[in-house]
């Protein structure tokens, strides 16, 4: 997919700032189309967000090509979460409208575990995922 890397994410939302490198993030994967980083306030260890680099507001604003790519990357990240964190399943969540806190499309990846988990520091999960 073509993506102009010199084009900056042009809105002032927190995810555009992360994409433009103005705010740090625990990024575990990145390509021309998406940035994938750990949620700063995770529901579960390995709670990850896949975010398109171009500013797309929500599902109604989303194009097929980007959505297909996001789901390809979802499978890749799922594999990583299974290998590194021993996840045994994956829940996908994507809020639009009322429950969407950050007004920039993002897909939540929440790994599932059979054993009850203690919530770890995001930094420690990041180290496990990237070592
Ligand atoms: P929403 O309710 O919009 O679907 O979810 C927004 C998510 O973004 C929340 O889970 C929240 O913890 C996460 N989030 C908000 N601000 C930041 C941030 O600055 N960095 C990261 N990594 N995640 C954030």
DSSP states of 22-42 as a string? SS---EEEE-SSEEEEE-SS-
> Per the structure, how many domains does the chain have?
1
Q: In whole angstroms, what is the distance from residue 120 CA to residue 125 CA?
A: 7
More confident position, 87 or 3: 87
- Interval 74-91: pLDDT, tens: 999 999 999 999 999 999
Q: In whole angstroms, what is the distance from residue 84 CA to residue 12 CA?
A: 34
The residue-averaged pLDDT of 1-28 equals: 81
**Statement: residue 110 has pLDDT above 90:** yes
- C-alpha of residue 120 to centroid of ligand 1, in Å: 17
pLDDT band of 7, cuts 50, 70, 90: low
- CATH number at 15 reads 3.30.428.10
Q: Whose CA is nearest to atom 18 of ligand 1?
A: 40
Q: In whole angstroms, what is the distance from residue 19 CA to residue 78 CA?
A: 22
pLDDT value, residue 27: 98
**Statement: residue 6 has pLDDT above 60:** no
Q: Mind spelling out the 3-state secondary structure of 69-123?
A: HHHHHHHHHHHHHHHHHCCCEEEEECCCHHHCCCCCCCEEEEEECCCCCCCCCHH
Residue 92 Cβ contacting ligand 1 at under 6 Å? no
106 is catalytic: yes
Range(s) of the domain holding residue 25: 5-130
């Amino acid at each position: 997919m073509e993506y102009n890397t010199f084009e900056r994410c042009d809105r002032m939302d927190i995810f555009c700032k992360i994409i433009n490198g103005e705010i740090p993030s625990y990024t575990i994967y990145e390509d021309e189309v998406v940035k994938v980083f750990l949620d700063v306030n995770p529901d579960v260890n390995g709670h990850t967000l896949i975010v398109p680099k171009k500013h797309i507001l929500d599902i109604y604003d989303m194009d097929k090509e980007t959505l297909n790519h996001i789901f390809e990357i979802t499978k890749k990240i799922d594999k990583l979460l299974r290998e590194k964190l021993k996840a045994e399943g994956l829940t996908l969540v994507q809020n639009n409208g009322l429950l969407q806190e950050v007004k920039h499309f993002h897909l939540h990846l929440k790994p599932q575990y059979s054993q009850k988990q203690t919530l770890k520091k995001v930094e420690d999960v990041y180290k496990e995922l990237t070592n």
